[in-house]
Structure 1
């Protein structure tokens, strides 16, 4: 079934085509789907998969096995990525969780660094166990996840509470997904905590946007909350939540949906198609952050059989090429971006691409390059250059102590190199 999506900012209707899941069914497997991937602009508005794949968020079983085999063989770049992981203080099996009942981000009494540091530790210890087989790391990851599952009851603060619920929601679920079959991990308690503590805030933001003008919040606010809902859907085998996130990616009213996150397209700029990212006139730190948030959504959906990476004529790839090109030091076109703010939708405009924090390093590029450049064999010149200029990628703890260094889980060189 072919459907038409909402109008793009350029007034064109985009006809959607076969989904990756449909390709898997009709073409007889992943190899065929990958071979066909570049020929199809996914996807139709499928329902959630009948059976969820586990592990099936940022890493599937094949990713984990490849890293395990390559590291054991001493092959680069996997070994360099592994060494980056094992050198990180958060990946040590001696990490002690600091679970607390109430997490506050924004306003008085902020303590959310407790949460993002523990999530990084849970994820990194889980990776060390999956790739290196070390039981002590598995025990540590389970201990962290169990402590929070039985302690955390509230995420609060000013509007930033929605950022905390989004970013730390999808990251937490990813750590749990890696540990879901480990006997000492209480998956049921963790699933319940995600449903009761994180999902209500994620849902509240996407449906109400904190009672603000629909365009008031930057793309990342929508993206992290979409990612959390998607991850909770996968973790809990909850098709309704999975569908909610995918539908919002394709046609949501806020700035995180694909046509709003990449509002302007440019054809054949020095031989490449580019897409202006919604936050490009704001600063580059948040713009690069967007590559990680949307990248997480696309990779999690991909591992469940849904190709959002290629949706709407590979619109995300065009946006990522634009962001990479500018942050590598080259010029990019810019169309004046105007949006409504506050509750009254008072208009503001940006007339130039922002050079603030230009070239900031975040571990978001390996995932994008190894998808577009290696899975699909596309010419992703700027993404590729950015990927290799910041390799090997680290994770939380390798990029400073503030929240920006923990907005992405990282270690893409280890887990995505192909």
Structure 2
């Protein structure tokens, strides 16, 4: 059967050597003209927004520029950063007022800001150098775009000097992005590089920024920032930064849309879901979150109007976005004006957006559990190992009560027992001073009839992630070698009947869950996240989930996301493996990696934003056999959607592939016995 390839190829509709339309950043010439007419006709809310914006402009204000702009973390130190930020905003606002009123003093003021900074600025320095450049670059370009194409009188020598500043100060600083920081950084950098590409008529620069928007690693792309549910990478940090990041990615999409590249609609309107999730929380509701949603900085920012208007014109209703836009509109200025577009609204009324997910809530806390009356209870501070040893072989439950259970040594799991917790509140944490690596291992090589459920295995060196979880990620820390649940036998099928349900294993630098040499394994509704670092034996060798020399394996309704160096799921030398209805996203290696295995079924999964191919069927010695890949949504991975070498009897059907890599081909199916060496 021939794959149904979802042609999610974006509207890169401009020919390779075509020029951009100008003006063409936040708004086109037609958009600006419509906005002007609405203001001059005293139409609301546009006239009121214009008046508020105009009142904030003092055309006689002193313009002070600096050669070296220094901005440290949280603005300490701040030498020239405040002046540049204010100047960039005033330049854009004044250019808009000039465009609407034709009053030359506003054009002159905007030009003086651009000219003064172009003549003075040499470089940026300190912690927030890239960020400050990114915050201001698109503002300056918007001002310049309007002035340059509106007969403002901007002199050619000044235009050339402004271009020189963009290309010798701004671009060299931003061109390599900075995805290791929280995602609002790359959102802002993309925003400014997209604007610069259009202003400079540099298609390669524009395309590079769009590609990073779609495929950037670590925290760099829209998919790394906004998860399928709408939760954001900084949701646990504070809502000010979340809204900043959302605004920067949406701002980049706003500019790209002017040129015919639609970044708003990708992945079922992913930008909209990020705003909807955040607005929902800020307006008083509490959506499900992986991790605790931060209560910090909960004021609504002025970033909702143009997002609301965009989706309204597209005939899509996001109720919480609309409420947020309505809440801030009375104080908004430029955002109301730049939301004006000439595209006609869809007829028939808006359709309320419905979130499409491949899994429900996964991991600890996914559902309430009824505990048997004869369960052995372990309170915080009690010995889990003693309880396990007491229950061994009896098929009894050991219920670990809510709280942090610090393990002084690795837990050794006996046969015939269920280890259960009370959801997210039950945290098993191996003391970093213990000298052990793995939180839980098998006590015997022929272990059987074991269930682990409804608890969290925390692999970090501390249980409190702090206000900035990104600062504790394994790729940034010296956490050492920390493993989650590691079950190993000496031969295939030696361990039997292992079940993992509603389990969360997170932040391990080694594998999160590794099973080698077992039969009859069930992994359901689990959240395996942020496992697999660059520790010994090295990057790309440990993963969120690693199945080796196993048979009869079911992996279902689970979440294997954001391994900083590994894959979401890795399967080696295994048979009869069913991988279905999972979310496998944002991993630094492959989404699903299958090597030397047989009777593997990969169906109905969401596989997105992995830094290599979404699904890789790898050849090492004999290759894999009897593999079915069907009904999966595999999109926006940085390699191919599906990549396969020397797989015998490969069946692929009804997969939706789109936006993968930078080539027109979304998959590579080869009979060659090719060994990947990089």
Whole-angstrom distance in 2 between the partners of 1:291 and 1:258: 9
Whole-angstrom distance in 1 between the partners of 2:218 and 2:161: 32
Whole-angstrom distance in 1 between the partners of 2:6 and 2:221: 17
Residue of structure 2 in register with 1:129 after alignment: 98
With normalisation by structure 2, the TM-score equals 0.47
Q: Secondary structure at the match of 1:325?
A: helix
Whole-angstrom distance in 2 between the partners of 1:391 and 1:49: 40
Deviations along 1:147-205, whole A, 9 cap, x unmatched? 11111111112x2111112111222222211212332242221111111101111013x
Taking a change above 3 Å as real, the CA distance of residues 47 and 393 of structure 1, as seen in their structure-2 partners, is farther
Deviations along 1:194-239, whole A, 9 cap, x unmatched? 11101111013x2xx3xxxx5x411111111111211111111011
8 Å contact kept, 2:130–2:173: yes
With normalisation by structure 1, the TM-score equals 0.75
Residue of structure 2 in register with 1:371 after alignment: 310
What displacement does 1:49 show? 7.1
Residue of structure 2 in register with 1:203 after alignment: 175
Residue of structure 2 in register with 1:322 after alignment: 277
What displacement does 1:322 show? 0.5
Taking a change above 3 Å as real, the CA distance of residues 238 and 393 of structure 1, as seen in their structure-2 partners, is farther
Whole-angstrom distance in 2 between the partners of 1:114 and 1:16: 46
Whole-angstrom distance in 1 between the partners of 2:267 and 2:17: 21
Question: 2:128 pairs with 160, 180, 183, which one?
Answer: 160
* Greater fraction of residues in strand: 2
Larger RCO, structures 1/2 (Cα 8 Å, 6+ apart): 1
8 Å contact kept, 1:122–1:140: yes
Taking a change above 3 Å as real, the CA distance of residues 48 and 133 of structure 1, as seen in their structure-2 partners, is farther
Map 1:157-196 onto structure 2 (within 5 A). Answer: 157=126, 159-181=127-149, 182-185=152-155, 186-196=158-168
Taking a change above 3 Å as real, the CA distance of residues 229 and 379 of structure 1, as seen in their structure-2 partners, is same
Whole-angstrom distance in 1 between the partners of 2:167 and 2:70: 18
How many equivalent residue pairs? 332
C-alpha RMSD of matched pairs (Å): 2.1
8 Å contact kept, 2:38–2:46: yes
8 Å contact kept, 2:190–2:249: no
Residue of structure 1 in register with 2:433 after alignment: none
* Greater fraction of residues in helix: 1
Question: 1:50 pairs with 12, 18, 31, which one?
Answer: 18
What displacement does 1:79 show? 0.9
Q: Does 1:383 align with 2:330?
A: no
What displacement does 1:62 show? 2.1
8 Å contact kept, 2:282–2:300: no
Map 1:307-346 onto structure 2 (within 5 A). Answer: 307-335=262-290
Question: 1:355 pairs with 295, 307, 312, which one?
Answer: 295
Question: 1:87 pairs with 55, 75, 80, which one?
Answer: 55
Whole-angstrom distance in 2 between the partners of 1:76 and 1:170: 27
What displacement does 1:18 show? 5.0
Residue of structure 1 in register with 2:337 after alignment: 414
Deviates more, 1:101-110 or 1:69-78: 101-110
Deviations along 1:352-387, whole A, 9 cap, x unmatched? 1111111x13221111001011x2010111111100
Whole-angstrom distance in 2 between the partners of 1:276 and 1:235: 33
Deviations along 1:4-49, whole A, 9 cap, x unmatched? 9xxxxxxxxx944253455xxxxxxxxxxxxxxxxxxxxxxx8767
Residue of structure 2 in register with 1:113 after alignment: 82
Taking a change above 3 Å as real, the CA distance of residues 113 and 179 of structure 1, as seen in their structure-2 partners, is same
Whole-angstrom distance in 2 between the partners of 1:66 and 1:412: 15
Whole-angstrom distance in 2 between the partners of 1:47 and 1:246: 15
Deviations along 1:105-138, whole A, 9 cap, x unmatched? 1155633111111111111110100112211101
Whole-angstrom distance in 2 between the partners of 1:381 and 1:235: 35
Q: Which runs of 4+ in 1 moved over 4 A?
A: 46-49
Any unmatched runs of 5+ in structure 2? 342-678
Q: Secondary structure at the match of 2:79?
A: coil
Q: Secondary structure at the match of 1:147?
A: helix
Whole-angstrom distance in 2 between the partners of 1:241 and 1:254: 21
Deviations along 1:26-83, whole A, 9 cap, x unmatched? xxxxxxxxxxxxxxxxxxxx87671101111112212211221111111111111111
- In our comparison, the structure showing a higher alpha carbon Rg is 2
8 Å contact kept, 1:92–1:137: no
8 Å contact kept, 1:226–1:245: yes
What displacement does 1:93 show? 2.1
Residue of structure 1 in register with 2:8 after alignment: 17
